[in-house]
Structure formats: structure tokens, C-alpha cells
Amino acid sequence: MNNQKSFKPLGDHNPVMVQRFGADPYALEYKGRIYIYMTLDDPELDESGAIIENTYSKIDKISVISSDDLVNWTDHGTVHAAGKNGQATWGNNSWAPAAAWKTIDGKDKFFLYFANSGNGIAVLEADSPVGPFTDPIGKALISRDTPTCAEVTWLFDPAVLMDDDGENYIYFGGGVPSDDKASDPGTARVAKLGKDMVSLDGDPKPIENVSYLFEDSGINKIDGKYFYSYCSNFSMTPEAEKEKGFQQGEIVTMVSDDPMGPFEMCNPVLKNPEHFFGLGGNNHHCMFKFQGQYYITYHSRILEEKMGFLKGYRSTSIDKLVINEKGEPSKSEGTRAGVKQLRNLDPYQETKAVTMSNAAGIATRQFGETARKFGSGDMIATGITEGGWIEVSGVDFGSEPARIVEINVTEAKELAEKLAASGDIEARRKSATDEDADEYGKHSDIDAKCLLGKVNVCVDSPENNPIEAVEILLAPAIKHDYGETLIKFSCRLDEKVSGVHDLYFVFEGEGYEFYSWKFLK
């Protein structure tokens, strides 16, 4: 079997996700995990099915992933945020999300802010960081009717600050009204949020003297100082770049002792992706702290480059944020290698198959009614093709060898429908014994024609001989809900494995979907 090639080299941790695009990342920490929310750059197609230039006009979903080690990321799907099938049906688009959480009336609530193109800010809320998200107010939180906002060129790109004193703030805006205002566009705004997080407590206030503002609001509180950050515009001359100390399309910071300013210029932080990867475009970031270290998440076009086209589709990366001796964010680097894994993964706890550091030849889809309806939540690995694989990095089996592997799969709905239409499914059911019908894991007597494929469990490389090849069989149950009923297969390992390894699930065959895995001692 020839294994498929990933669009990300083995060992690289950027971009963080390869199963789809994700731009304008925003990070939220909750209970020891980092959740990343991203604009879904879903490829636009022409009449022949070819990918065309990204116009951003059809974006109405927000991708969500999470991790507790910054290398293995769990896919939580795509929030149906805007448009006729989204929650904010009054808006067409969902650009550049920001997220926050707050305990209200004794319950943790989660808030997702995003832009309806450049014309206003929406807010959704949920009881979980992965949703389901719903629209609590049925209209824009911030619109051109909001005081001081009518003149904002681009009413978008929110960022949220949850201050230590319990007050909350939202930062937004951008754009250059005219060429003569490029050096000081005057289009950045800050407002205090209401206690409910879905209203404003007072009118937005202009953030003054934001030099060469373009877009991309950011906000962080570090050692009692407030750092507002943004992307500089593309009207800077070489003389202006020399004078200001930063370049066009670069992430720049300002600092203040007050969350609503005034702010003073501080440091440039991250150059345009073109500087690091040879491909330019807009620059969008979020700075965050996790387990004592500061990081910066941003997007680039390195995934679409590997896929063989250059149409403006962006993917998210994470690198360390440099904090200088003054305690200020300062010049940092974008890399393909990314960050080191912060902790090893425990293989003796059930792990979703959509938790991965790399993959090839697979896709993901919503699993269960709630996830299908709202877009985010539980997910399953699907679209499995011959030679596809999933990698999980830094798996610690401990000193005592693992002896058994368990996997949960479903039969792909498309296959089940095809077999049912042909009548072949009944023949396959009858080929199984009664004992097998009661216990899917005991399948040695099932006729070979029931075999859908194999999940080869490999360590250290997808090319290595598997420590076990788990056969995936057509379920012999009389009835079940195809595509949603989990079927467990378990096997004793041919080779015992201990210590820390990168783990690979390499697929043979098709017609099944992969939900979760777990090892036993």
C-alpha cells in the first residue's frame, strides 16, 4: 500500500490544521485547553469545479479547534454563524471571530463575536466553548447606527478584553477613509461591554493616533499594562517605514495604563507572512498566554501553496511570542516548525479520531444531530481513502507495554445506502454468525466479503510495519442507524509498545468512518 502524502511535512507543526482552511485566528483559554476560532476560508469553485480566487463574500461559518498541548488539535467543526442557514440570519458573513467566556448567574457562558463583512459586529452565545451557539439578540451588537461608528470604514475585526476588575471591553474597526488619511485613519474603536456580554455599556470611543492602521484589532493585558495591537496598512512609503520602525502589513502594538486609552506606540511584533514564507497578503493575529508562555497565532498561505494553487486561502499557525526585558511584546518569528508539544498524550484515555497533529487522505464531518444542526460540536473522521492516515504526536505509553487497542467506527452512510439499494447488504448480514451479530469484536468467522478495510496502527512513521492491523467489518446487526451508530473493534497488539511515540492510524479500504481510539494494558 502506498501511503498518501500530507500537505504538511512530518515534524512540522504549522499550520495547525490541514483538513480545511482557517484564517483570522483568535485564542481562548478554558480549563487547561486553548480553543482557536477561525474564519472558514471554504474554497470557492467555478462551474467546472475548479478553485477560484477567494472573494470572502461567501464566508458564513467559523472553524473551532482545541488543544491542551498546542500540537495535537481536536476538530470541533464549523459554527453555522451567519447566512440563511446560520444563527445570525440577518447577516451574510462571519469574518474574523473573537471569543470570551464569563461566569454569569453561577454558570459559565461563552460568547463568539464576528463581523458581518465590514458592516457590523455580531455576537452569539453558548454553554460550551464548542457550542451550540445561538443568537441572543437577533441583530448586530455594533452597527453603523451605533454612535461614532457610521464613519468607520471597515466595521469589523473584534477583539475582547476580560479585565481583572470584572469589566469587559471590545475593540474593533479599521480601514483607510482616503489616501490623505493613510498615516492616521482614525477608524479604530473601543467600547465597554455590558455585564451580559451581549450589549454595550456606553458609546464606543475612538482610539487615537493609531499610526498607519489597516485592520485586525488585538488586546492583551500584560503585567498591568494594556497592549492594543493591529496590522499596519499598505500605504507606507520606505521613508515612513524607516521613521516609524515598522513595515506595511506588519503587526504593531501600542500601550496604555487604561483599557480605553490613550495608547502610545510600542513595538512591532510580527512581519507580514511574506517575510517568512514568500507569500504575502493580509496579516491577522492573536497574542495569548498559556501555561506561563506567550504565543502568537496568525495565518499564512503555506497550506494552499502545498496544495498547488495560490488563490488567497489562508491557514492558521502558532509560534512563540517574544516578551522583551520591559515586559512588552516584541519582534517574533513565523515558522513552519511551530511550537514544541507541551505535554504528552495519554493513550489509555479515549481520544477522538479528529484529534491530530497531521493527516492525509481524510476529511471530517459533524457527528450527531446537534452538531449537524449547529455546525460545531462532536466530529468524526470521514472521507477515508486508501493510504490515508492520521498522526497523533507525543503519545506516552508508559513503561508497561500496551496490550490491546480499541477503535470505534461507523459505516459510512453512502456505502450503506448503496448496499441497501443493491440488496447486497442482506447477503452480507446473513454471512455473519449469530455470535458475531451479538459481539462485533469477535469477527474471526465472518466471511471475508464483509471486510470494509483495515486500520493499521503504526508508531514513529506511517511507513513502519503496524503493531496491529484492526479489521473493519460490515456490522452484522439486523438494524442500525448507518453513519451514526458506533461499532467497537478491539485487538491484541501483535507487538507490545511502551515509551513515547508518534502514533499513526493508516487506512486500508473505504466505506467506514473513524470516531475514537483507546489502548488498554
In this structure, the strands spanning 358-360 and 389-396 are antiparallel
Strand, coil or helix: 238: helix
E-strand ranges in 233-300 read: 251-256, 264-270, 285-290, 293-300
CA angle (70 as vertex; 68, 71 as ends), nearest 5: 110
Which residue in 24, 125, 157, 216 is the catalytic one? 24
- 335: buried, middle or exposed (CB in 10 Å: 19+, 13-18, 0-12)? middle
Taking a C-beta distance cutoff of 8 angstroms, is the pair 259, 236 a contact? no
All three cell numbers of 426: 442482506
Q: Determine if residue 271 is left, alpha or beta; phi over 0 gives left, psi from -120 to 50 gives alpha, anything else beta.
A: beta
Residues β-bridged to residue 459: 503
> How far is CA 26 from each of CA 22, 74, 217, rounded to the nearest angstrom?
11, 16, 11
> How far is CA 476 from each of CA 340, 453, 482, rounded to the nearest angstrom?
44, 15, 12
CA angle (90 as vertex; 88, 92 as ends), nearest 5: 85
Taking a C-beta distance cutoff of 8 angstroms, is the pair 343, 68 a contact? yes
All three cell numbers of 81: 454563524
Taking a C-beta distance cutoff of 8 angstroms, is the pair 72, 16 a contact? no
All three cell numbers of 309: 494553487
Cβ-based neighbour number of residue 327 at 10 Å? 12
Nearest CA among 357, 368, 362, 360 for reference residue 381 = 362
Bond before 262 cis per omega within 30 degrees = yes
All three cell numbers of 296: 502568537
Report DSSP state, residue 44.
Answer: P
Nearest CA among 27, 13, 33 for reference residue 317 = 13
At residue 273, what are phi and psi to the nearest 5 degrees? Answer: -55, -25
Taking a C-beta distance cutoff of 8 angstroms, is the pair 13, 339 a contact? yes
Integer Cα distance of 455 and 471 in angstroms: 7
At residue 512, what are phi and psi to the nearest 5 degrees? Answer: -140, 165
Integer Cα distance of 69 and 344 in angstroms: 8
Which residue in 215, 319, 502, 508 is the catalytic one? 215
Residue 215 falls in the annotated catalytic set: yes
Catalytic positions, written as ranges? 24, 215
